[in-house]
Amino acid sequence: MKLIILDRDGVINFDSDQFIKSPQEWLPIPGSLEAIARLNQAGYRVVVASNQSGVGRGLFDMSTLNAIHAKMHKLVAQAGGRIDAVFFCPHAADSKCNCRKPKPGLFQEIAARVHRDLRGVPAIGDSLRDLQAALAVGARPMLVKTGKGVRTLAGGQMPEGIPVFENLSEAVQAILAEPA
């Protein structure tokens, strides 16, 4: 089974420093939904791993998060794609959980649910913590410049050898061009 892990905010949809707090605020980055459809057509299962501390901070509740994800699933489907599962950490940044990236808990949960070792699995994110969580489980991190990506590059803490792409569409193009 071919698998890919995507961060949500800043990779699939536009991010906001004020959080994405409603379905109306969830707006796809141009080309991202079609990129997911191309992954599906190439046989990839697409899963999302996302920190959603807005729940823990009381900025929105679980029903709102579910409505945001319902919109995401609907728009991906309209583009001819599918997201197989969404894994998220609802805890605030100061919590001691193991699921908030950069900790590897979300990735470990994905591995357990899909019964697969994540070594070498592409994991696309826009922040250092996305890359660190992927590295912790042996996945293959990739950075996109959308969302916090440019800021992440400028921060000077990028692990060596991480490929950088303009956006999800460009990253998917590179993955699909790799020899099987």
- Residue 84 bears catalytic tag: no
Is the CB of residue 47 less than 8 Å from the CB of residue 69? Answer: no
**Residues 90/53, Cβ–Cβ less than 8 Å:** yes
Whole-number Å distance between alpha carbons of 137 and 106: 10
**Catalytic annotation present for 7:** yes
CA dihedral 90, 142, 105, 42 (to 10 degrees): 90
- The CB density around residue 157, as the number of other CB atoms within 10 Å, is 10
Catalytic option among 7, 15, 126, 130: 7
164 CB burial (10 A radius; 0-12, 13-18, 19+)? middle
Q: Which residues are catalytic?
A: 7, 9
